[in-house]
Structure 1
Amino acid sequence: MVEPRLFTNTLPCSTMVAATMSFLSQLIPPFGSLQVLLVTAVCALVLVLLSFRRPRNLPPGPRGLPIVGNALSLRTNVPLVFTEWSKKYGDVLTVYTGPMLTIVLNGYAAIHEALVKNADVFSSRPSSSASMTPDEKTLGIAQEPYGPKWKEHRKFALMSLRDFGVGKRSMEGKILEETRALHDEISKNRIKAFCISHMMQNTVSNVICSIVFGCRYEYRDKKFQDLLMAIDRVLRRTSADHLAVMLRPLRYIPGVRKGYLDLRNSQAVLVNHIKDRIREHQETFDENDIRDFIDAFLLESKKRQTDENTTFTEQELATVVLQLFLAGTDTTSTTLRWALLYMILHPDIQGKVQQEIDSVLGPSQEPSMVHRSQMPYTEAALTEVSRLATIAPISLPHGTSRDTTFRGYNIPEDTLVAVNIWSVHHDPQLWPDPSKFDPARFLDDAGKFVKRTEVIAFSTGRRVCLGEQLARMEIFLIFTSLLQRFTFKLPEGAPKPSEEGVFRGIHAPVPFKLRAEPRN
Structure 2
Amino acid sequence: MLPIKENPCASLSSVTVALCLLTLLLMALRGRKSHHHNSQLDYTKYPPLPGPMPWPLVGNLLQMGDQIHLSLTSLRLQYGDVFKMRLGSLTVVVLSGYTTIRQALVWQGEAFAGRPDLFTFSAVANGTSMTFSEKYGPAWVLHTKLCKNALRSFSQAEPRGSGATCLLEEHICAEAAEMVAVMREQAAAKGKMGHNMKGIDPVMPLVTSVAIIVCALCFGKRYDYNDKDPDTFRPERFLGSSGLLNKELTEKVLIFGMGKRRCPW
Matching residue within 226, 235, 259 for 1:314: 259
Structure-2 change in CA distance of 1:148 and 1:215 (3 Å): same
Matching residue within 140, 154, 157 for 2:147: 157
Following superposition, the deviation at residue 85 of structure 1 comes to 0.7
**Equivalent-residue separation in structure 2 for 1:112 and 1:288 (angstroms):** 48
Following superposition, the deviation at residue 186 of structure 1 comes to 6.4
Residue number in structure 1 paired with 2:64:
74
Letter in 2 for 1:174: H
Residue number in structure 2 paired with 1:96:
86
Indicate yes or no: 2:176 matched with 1:179. Answer: yes
Indicate yes or no: 2:195 matched with 1:202. Answer: no
**Equivalent-residue separation in structure 2 for 1:156 and 1:121 (angstroms):** 22
Following superposition, the deviation at residue 155 of structure 1 comes to 1.4
Indicate yes or no: 2:196 matched with 1:216. Answer: no
Unaligned 5+ runs, structure 2: 1-11, 39-46, 158-165, 192-196, 240-244
Unaligned 5+ runs, structure 1: 1-31, 224-272, 303-312, 318-520
**Equivalent-residue separation in structure 2 for 1:166 and 1:291 (angstroms):** 22
Can you list the C-alpha shifts for 1:83-107, whole angstroms capped at 9, x where unaligned?
1110110111111122221111112
Name whichever structure is richer in helix by fraction.
1
Structure-2 change in CA distance of 1:139 and 1:167 (3 Å): same
Residue number in structure 2 paired with 1:53:
33
Letter in 1 for 2:234: E
Letter in 1 for 2:259: E
CA contact (8 A) 2:183 2:205 kept: no
Residue number in structure 1 paired with 2:6:
none
Residue number in structure 1 paired with 2:234:
280
Following superposition, the deviation at residue 81 of structure 1 comes to 0.7
Structure number with larger C-alpha Rg: 2
Count of matched residue pairs: 214
Residue number in structure 2 paired with 1:170:
167
Can you list the C-alpha shifts for 1:59-113, whole angstroms capped at 9, x where unaligned?
2111222222211112311121111110110111111122221111112211111
**Equivalent-residue separation in structure 2 for 1:37 and 1:283 (angstroms):** 66
**Equivalent-residue separation in structure 2 for 1:92 and 1:79 (angstroms):** 15
Indicate yes or no: 2:137 matched with 1:147. Answer: yes
Residue number in structure 2 paired with 1:64:
54
Structure-2 change in CA distance of 1:42 and 1:194 (3 Å): same
Can you list the C-alpha shifts for 1:456-477, whole angstroms capped at 9, x where unaligned?
xxxxxxxxxxxxxxxxxxxxxx
Residue number in structure 2 paired with 1:86:
76
Matches within 5 A, 1:9-48: 45-48=25-28
**Equivalent-residue separation in structure 1 for 2:151 and 2:21 (angstroms):** 51
Letter in 2 for 1:71: L
Structure-2 change in CA distance of 1:289 and 1:181 (3 Å): closer
Matches within 5 A, 1:235-314: 276-277=231-232, 279-280=233-234, 284=238, 289-290=248-249, 296=253, 298=254, 302=257, 314=259
Q: Report the 3-state secondary structure (helix = DSSP H, G, I; strand = E; otherwise coil) of the residue aligned with 2:224.
A: coil
Matches within 5 A, 1:383-402: none
CA contact (8 A) 2:124 2:132 kept: no
Following superposition, the deviation at residue 34 of structure 1 comes to 7.1
Residue number in structure 1 paired with 2:43:
none
Letter in 2 for 1:314: G
Can you list the C-alpha shifts for 1:110-133, whole angstroms capped at 9, x where unaligned?
111111111121112234467435
Residue number in structure 1 paired with 2:123:
132
**Equivalent-residue separation in structure 2 for 1:47 and 1:217 (angstroms):** 56
Residue number in structure 2 paired with 1:440:
none
Two-structure CA RMSD over aligned residues (Å): 4.1
Letter in 2 for 1:120: E
Letter in 1 for 2:171: K
Structure-2 change in CA distance of 1:39 and 1:166 (3 Å): farther
Q: Report the 3-state secondary structure (helix = DSSP H, G, I; strand = E; otherwise coil) of the residue aligned with 2:94.
A: strand
CA contact (8 A) 1:179 1:203 kept: no
Q: Report the 3-state secondary structure (helix = DSSP H, G, I; strand = E; otherwise coil) of the residue aligned with 2:147.
A: helix
Matches within 5 A, 1:484-499: none
Structure-2 change in CA distance of 1:181 and 1:283 (3 Å): closer
TM-score, scaled to structure 1: 0.34
Q: Report the 3-state secondary structure (helix = DSSP H, G, I; strand = E; otherwise coil) of the residue aligned with 1:80.
A: helix
**Equivalent-residue separation in structure 2 for 1:131 and 1:65 (angstroms):** 26
Letter in 1 for 2:223: R
Can you list the C-alpha shifts for 1:210-232, whole angstroms capped at 9, x where unaligned?
313742323xx273xxxxxxxxx
Following superposition, the deviation at residue 36 of structure 1 comes to 7.9
**Equivalent-residue separation in structure 1 for 2:150 and 2:17 (angstroms):** 54
Residue number in structure 1 paired with 2:107:
117
**Equivalent-residue separation in structure 2 for 1:194 and 1:291 (angstroms):** 44
Letter in 1 for 2:167: S
Structure-2 change in CA distance of 1:139 and 1:197 (3 Å): closer
**Equivalent-residue separation in structure 1 for 2:138 and 2:103 (angstroms):** 23
Structure-2 change in CA distance of 1:281 and 1:61 (3 Å): farther
Can you list the C-alpha shifts for 1:421-453, whole angstroms capped at 9, x where unaligned?
xxxxxxxxxxxxxxxxxxxxxxxxxxxxxxxxx
Identity %: 23
